[in-house]
Structures are given as C-alpha cells and as structure tokens.
Amino acid sequence: MTENMRSLRNFFLYKCLFALTFWNHVSLSVENELFTSVSNNFPEDDSDKKIKSLPLLYTKGHQSKANFDWVVIQNTTESLSLSEITNDNVKKLVALLSNFRRGSRLQNLTLTNVSVDWNALMEIFQTVWHSSIEYFSINNVTQLSDIKRYDFDYSGTAMKALTITKVLITDLYFLQDVLYIIFADMNIAALTIAESEMIHMMCPSSNSPFKYLNFLKNDLTDLLFQNCDKLIQLETLILQKNKLEHLHKVSFMTSHMKSLKYLDMSNNLLHHDAADVQCQWAESLTELDLSSNQLMDAVFECLPVNIKKLYLQNNQITSVPKEMAELKSLEELNLALNRLADLPGCGGFTSLEFLNVEMNSILTPSADFFQSCPRVRELQAGHNPFKCSCELQDFIRLERQSGGKLFGWPAVYVCEYPEDLQGTQLKDFHLSELACNTMLLLVTALLLTLVLVAVVAFLCIYLDVPWYARMTVQWTQMKRRAWHNHPEEQETVLQFHAFISYSERDALWVKNELIPNLEKGEGCVQLCQHERNFVPGKSIVENIINCIEKSYKSIFVLSPNFVQSEWCHYELYFAHHKLFTENSNSLILILLEPIPPYIIPARYHKLKALMAKRTYLEWPKERSKRALFWANLRAAISINLPVPDGQRWGEID
C-alpha cells in the first residue's frame, strides 16, 4: 500500500470515528448515510451483497488514535457484533446504542467478552430494552460483581429474545432474588440463560409473556418453578444438563403451564420409583425429552397422557410394562441405548408410528411385533446383538412382508450369536422350514418313525424274524441248561457220521433207500435218525440240537414236502447255526425232487442262500447213475468216529 493510500485510509477512519462520537446529534437519515458511506469504501461480500464488513476499529496498537475501547466484529444495517466490553467503555457503548431508537434498522446485537459489574450490565440492558433491537445476545460475561436491587423499566420495548451464555458471578454473597427477578419479569417471548451455573430462577411476578425458556447446562434443581402459575403462555422449556432428580416433581412443575408443548429434561439425574406419588403433567404437553437420565421401567407410570413424541434413550429401561397407562396419542417413541430384551408391544401405544430401539440387548425380537403394531411406519432396531435362530428367521420374514419398515436395513442388522455366524447380515441368514417349524419337525419325525416301524415289521414278518428269535432263545437256553447240569460233558464228542433231516412224507425213501445203502454197505456209516436216536423226555428242539452237535454232517433231504415241514425248518436253522459258529462245512443237501422257487416260504431264505451258493446232490431217476450218487455221498461223510469204551454203534447217551 502506497503512502498516499495509507493516509487516505487513516483520514477516512478518523471521519468515521468522529461521526460515531457525535451520533446523538445526527438524525436518522445521517445514521443510514454513515452505514452507506462506510460500506461503499470496502469490497462487497459476493455471497450476500447486503452485508458489508467493517475492519477492526480498535486494536491495542491504535488505541490512542481511535479512542475506542471495544472491537467491532461485524456490522450491517441490521446486525451489530461488538467484543471486549468493560466498565471503562460502557458509557460510550450506551451512547452509541441510544441512537438506535424504535424504527431503526438495527435488530440484532451481539456482545462478546463482557467484563463489567452489575450496575453497568443493567445499564446496557436498559438501553437495549428501549432501542430497536429485537434479538440481543451476550456471551462470556465475567467479573460480574456488586449485585444489588435495580429498578428495571420493561416498558416500550421491541425485544423478542434474549440469550445470555457463560456468566461468571464473582460476588460470594448477594440476594438471589435481586438477580433472578430481573430476568423472570422480562416482557419478552424468549429467554436463554445457558452455561452460567445458575442454581434457581424466580417465578414471574405477574402473568409472563414467555413462550420459550432455555436454561441449558446450569445447576437447577427440583425447586424450580414449583407452584408457579404465571407461565401461562410458555410453550417450550429446555432444562437440559441440570441437576433435577425427581420426575414427579418435574411433572408438578408443569401442571400450571397451560400452554406448554415441548419439555427437554435430558442429561439430568431424573429417576422415578413406583412408590412415588402420582404424576400430574400439563395437559397441553405433546413432546417430552427424558433421555440420558436414570429412569427405569417405572417411568411409564409417570408420563403425560397426551404425549405425542417421547424420548427415553440412554436410560436403564429393561421392558415396557403391560399394565402401564395407555398413551393413545403417542406417535414417536425413542428407547435406544437402554436394556430392552425384546421389542415392546403396542398395547398402550395404539397410535405409534415411529419406534427406535437401537443399541439395546435384543437377541430375538418378537415376530408378532408388526401384527401388534399395525400403524408403525418405521422401526429402528439396528445395532442389537441379534441371535440368528429360528425365532429371528420369523422376524426377518415378517419384515419382508411388511414392506421395508426396518430403518437402516440391512447394513446395521448383523448377527452377534452364535459365533460361527458373527458378522453375518440378517438378510443373508437362512434356515430350512423343517428346522424352524417344530410342529412340522415333529410330524415329519413321527411319519419317519411310523414308516421305519412298518418297514421293520414287514421285514420281520417276511423274513420270519420272530421265529428265528424264538429259536435262538431256545438254543441259548438249552446250552445254558446243559452247561449248568453237566459242565463236564460240554466238550462235544462225535457219535454219528450224519444226522438225517427229512419230511415224514419222504420217510419211505429215507428208510428204503438212504439208510440201507449207507449203513449196510461198505464203510459202516452211522446215521442219526430221530425215530431211533431221539432221547425220550427231552424236548424235540433239544433232541435236534444234540443230534446235530454229535453228528459230523447233517444230511437234508430236500423236496417240496421238506419246505412245508415246520420241524425240517428247525433242523435246518440249527444246522446252519452250527455251520457259522464252528466255521465247519457240515451241510449236505440232497435234492430228492425239484423245488420250484415260488413254493419256498420267505422264512426259508437261508435255504435259498444255501442252494444258490453250495453244491447239492440230486437223486437220479436213472438206476445206472445211483451207484455214483451213493459213492459221492459216502465220500462226503467219510470219517473215523471215536468209539467210547463199552459203547456199541448206534447208542447215544
């Protein structure tokens, strides 16, 4: 900047200061001309051509030249912001503000970093009260001292809203009423006193025009506005971040506020016990913020009956009691950051449209929620530790049917349990219908059981399992009796070359052909026949088992008559049992007559298996082939039997 330009700028500033000093002698037209003159010498703000910026009129380096003791932060035709107000420059400030009478364009005034005593502060307030200023904000008031009674004139004001933040009172002892009554009796619509460690506020002396009160972040207690019936026009009351404790006392505080619609009691120390007296709220109250307190389930016994919006997030609520009073007008309910284990029902909230239960302890939300809450348009239930199970599957299915009422779906709906599904989004979790439907699972299991039983029963009947079981039991019992009665005789001694099993209808062939050709021929074959070798007094089964065990071989004369004989079946079964238990090759099958497969009963499946796997001798019809037949049969049973002392062939013990 050249020297000429610098001189011109200093001259211009001097003229501006001179004009401000003698402003009280200038008319309203001169005031507007000054703002216009100052604005035209500096570049316009592109974002808003109406607002002109004025550089600092005062800095420490220019104090002697400017003779001003505050800093102009911003100045327009409608707004003025000043900083660094002290007792030394209060009179100059008052002189400046006195020029802004009713009808002036100036409507917004902001004072920052105010370090004055009580009398100077009241003088500033009184001057502003009779000016054109409608919105007055004063921030960071320090060194406020010497508080005493002041006769404040509230008449003839254009003021609508006053905001005071961060007030530091240096007096240790003063009359509280002197301080609070000044603000309580203000005839304005909105008052804010925030972050000022205020411990009380007086009830107005007469019916107050207050519609908005904001006492954010102070030290107010339950004594506030008790039995105060002067706030009849109050619509909004903000008591956030104070020290109120008893919810029922808060309710009585509002009972005289006939126009109250919104109450913010968040971030206090509120609690409510079931034993407390009943609550009494303003009937006009429709929006209540009780978030970040110490409230539990009993809070639902102390709520305004006409409430429409209720905020209870960040408390200690575990459930919504079913016996609570009905809130028929409630449309929005916020229960986030509590301890809920399930979604609340809508039994007491028949008009509920918005519900927030985020960040609770909900594992498996009730699937009947959407049915019990048909008017709910939006449910915020994300960020809960969901347990992915069948119950949750039902909830997911109902959400899809409801048309997307879950807010934040699917990003904030994630499985927490079980561990193998942790992090899985609920939309990707699926279980089969059979796994989740208990009734269907029981019916399916029952049907499978019945089918299995039917199959087993059919197989048992078809394979004659009961018969085999009965024979096995008899064989086991016989062996046990024999062991107990004659344990020394349990070592089996062969006494016969072969045991003959045949049907009585084939007895003629056995007696005329088989026995004569084997016993009377060469080799002295000893055969066991039931007619001559069964021991009287013993059961048939026991005799069969004994004969089979004392015989080297068992000869079965097969024919259609054989498969029709019950006793032949017994003999075949026990002989087959010996085959497997002793791992011997003791069976000789003689096919006397061809046996068509279709006439063999189902229980003879062992016979079918033997005929399919083993070689059998077929009785030849031609006489020329019979010599070979007998030779082969003798060879199959050829063995030297031990002969006990004093016993002849054919005798059995």
Q: Quick check: is 524 in a domain? A: yes
Is the bond preceding residue 410 a cis peptide, omega within 30 degrees? yes
Domain boundary among 159, 194, 214: 159
Q: Point out the least confidently predicted range of 459-463, 537-541, 588-592.
A: 459-463
Greater pLDDT, 116 or 10: 116
Residues 148 and 39 in one domain: yes
Greater pLDDT, 599 or 36: 599
How high is the pLDDT of residue 165? Answer: 97
The residue to which tokens 């209808």 are assigned? 505
Contact between 202 and 180 under an 8 Å Cβ cutoff? The reply is yes
Residues 343 and 212 in one domain: no
- Give tens-digit pLDDT for 25-43: 333 333 343 333 333 333 3
Three-state DSSP class for residue 282: coil
How high is the pLDDT of residue 107? Answer: 93
Q: For the range 230-233, what are the long-range contacts, defined as Cβ-Cβ under 8 Å and sequence gap of 24 or more?
A: 230/203, 230/204, 230/205, 230/206, 231/203, 231/204, 231/256, 231/257, 231/260, 232/207, 232/208, 232/256, 232/257, 232/258, 232/259, 233/207, 233/208, 233/209, 233/259
Nearest to 544 by CA among 513, 521, 567: 567
Measured in degrees and rounded to the nearest 5, phi and psi for residue 557 equal -90, 105
Domain count, the chain: 5
Domain boundary among 131, 159, 187: 159
CATH classification at residue 368: 3.80.10.10
Contacts of 443 by beta carbon, 8 Å cutoff, 6+ apart: none
**Could you tell me the two tokens for 579?**
């085959």
Q: Point out the least confidently predicted range of 327-336, 516-525, 526-535.
A: 516-525
Most confident of 221-235, 441-455, 476-490, 582-596: 221-235
- Give tens-digit pLDDT for 71-82: 777 777 789 999
Beta strands in 98-199 (DSSP E): 108-115, 135-144, 161-169, 190-194
Residues 191 and 60 in one domain: no
Greater pLDDT, 409 or 134: 134
Separation between Cα atoms, residue 274 and residue 212, nearest integer Å: 32
Residues 155 and 204 in one domain: no
Range of the domain at 474: 437-483
Q: Point out the least confidently predicted range of 130-139, 198-207, 508-517.
A: 508-517
Question: CB count, 10 Å around CB of 387?
Answer: 15
Per-residue confidence at 290, pLDDT binned at 50, 70, 90?
very high
Contact between 604 and 594 under an 8 Å Cβ cutoff? The reply is no
How high is the pLDDT of residue 535? Answer: 82
Greater pLDDT, 207 or 644: 207
**Could you tell me the two tokens for 477?**
């019992």
Rounded average pLDDT over 302-320: 95
Residues 283 and 206 in one domain: yes
Three-state DSSP class for residue 617: strand
Q: Kindly give the pairing relationship between strand 415-417 and strand 190-194.
A: unpaired
Contact between 179 and 150 under an 8 Å Cβ cutoff? The reply is no
Most confident of 346-350, 366-370, 384-388, 485-489: 384-388
Q: Quick check: is 167 in a domain? A: no
Distance, C-alpha 12 to centroid of its chain: 72
Nearest to 244 by CA among 207, 204, 199: 199
Amino acid at 168: L
Is the bond preceding residue 487 a cis peptide, omega within 30 degrees? no
Residues 559 and 594 in one domain: yes
Greater pLDDT, 285 or 478: 285
Q: Does the predicted model carry a pTM greater than 0.85?
A: no
Domain boundary among 93, 128, 159: 159
* In the predicted structure, residue 124 carries a pLDDT above the cut 80: yes
Q: Quick check: is 646 in a domain? A: no
Residues 517 and 626 in one domain: yes
Residues 263 and 380 in one domain: no
Residues 224 and 325 in one domain: no
3-state secondary structure 52-111: CCCCCCCCHHHHHHHCCCCEEEEECCCEEEEEEEEHHHHHHHHHHHCCCCCCCCCCEEEE
- Give tens-digit pLDDT for 438-451: 787 788 888 999 99
Residues 120 and 202 in one domain: no
Q: Quick check: is 312 in a domain? A: no
- Give tens-digit pLDDT for 244-288: 999 999 999 999 999 999 999 999 999 998 776 789 999 999 999
The residue to which tokens 């904000």 are assigned? 137
How high is the pLDDT of residue 152? Answer: 94
Mean pLDDT of the residues in the chain: 80
Q: Quick check: is 592 in a domain? A: yes
Amino acid at 291: S
How high is the pLDDT of residue 17? Answer: 39
Q: Quick check: is 24 in a domain? A: yes
Greater pLDDT, 640 or 336: 336
* In the predicted structure, residue 174 carries a pLDDT above the cut 50: yes
Nearest to 162 by CA among 121, 124, 134, 181: 134
Q: Quick check: is 643 in a domain? A: no
Residues 520 and 602 in one domain: yes
Separation between Cα atoms, residue 40 and residue 52, nearest integer Å: 8
Q: Quick check: is 258 in a domain? A: yes
Separation between Cα atoms, residue 128 and residue 135, nearest integer Å: 10
Nearest to 479 by CA among 414, 549, 386: 549
Per-residue confidence at 474, pLDDT binned at 50, 70, 90?
low
Residues 291 and 327 in one domain: no
How high is the pLDDT of residue 414? Answer: 92
